Amino acid sequence: MNQPSVHQLYSYSKLDKLGEGSYGHVYKGVHIQTGKVVALKIIDLDTADDDVDAIQREVAFLTQLRDGPNITEYYGCYLDGPRVWIAMEYAQGGSILSLMKASPKARLEEKYAVVVVREVLIGLSYLHKSAVIHRDIKAANILITATGKVMLCDFGVSALLATSSSKRNTLVGTPYWMAPEVAQSAAYDTKADIWSLGIMIYEMIKGEPPNAHIMPFKLVQMIPKLKPPRLVEGEGSKELRDFLPLCVTESPSDTVGGRASESEMGQRRF
3-class secondary-structure state, position 199: helix
Kindly state the helix (H) or strand (E) to which residue 51 belongs, with its residue range.
Answer: helix 49-64
Q: What is the CA radius of gyration of the chain?
A: 19
Alpha carbon separation from 259 to 74, 121, 155, 176 (Å, rounded) = 31, 14, 23, 18
Is 5 contained in some domain? no
Tens-level pLDDT at each residue, the chain (270 residues):
555 555 544 588 888 998 875 567 899 999 988 999 999 988 887 765 556 677 777 788 888 888 899 999 999 888 887 888 889 999 999 999 999 999 989 999 999 999 999 999 999 999 999 989 998 999 999 999 999 999 998 887 677 664 445 565 555 678 999 999 999 987 889 999 999 999 999 999 999 999 999 999 999 999 999 999 999 999 999 999 999 999 999 877 754 457 877 766 666 655
Is 188 contained in some domain? yes
Question: Are 72 and 118 found together in one domain?
Answer: no
The domain boundary residue, chosen from 54, 89, 124? 89
DSSP state of 207: S
* pLDDT score, position 233: 95
Question: Are 106 and 156 found together in one domain?
Answer: yes
The domain boundary residue, chosen from 89, 122, 153? 89
CA-wise closest residue to 232 among 209, 206, 262: 206
Question: Are 172 and 113 found together in one domain?
Answer: yes
Name the pTM for this structure: 0.84
| Separation CA 11–CA 30 (nearest Å) | 9
CB atoms under 10 Å from CB of 15, counted, come to 13
Contact yes or no for 6/78 (Cβ under 8 A): yes
Is 2 contained in some domain? no
Question: Are 99 and 71 found together in one domain?
Answer: no
3-class secondary-structure state, position 64: helix
| Separation CA 177–CA 43 (nearest Å) | 25
CATH of the domain at 71: 3.30.200.20
Contact yes or no for 253/180 (Cβ under 8 A): no
Phi and psi (nearest 5°) for 263?
Answer: -70, -40
Contact yes or no for 128/259 (Cβ under 8 A): no
Active site residue: 136, 154, 189, 193, which one?
136
Number of domains in the chain: 2
Give per-residue pLDDT as tens, 198-228: 999 999 999 999 999 999 999 999 999 999 9
Is 212 contained in some domain? yes
The domain boundary residue, chosen from 46, 73, 89? 89
| Separation CA 181–CA 42 (nearest Å) | 33
Is 165 contained in some domain? yes
Structural domain containing residue 188 = 94-266
44 is known as an active-site residue = no
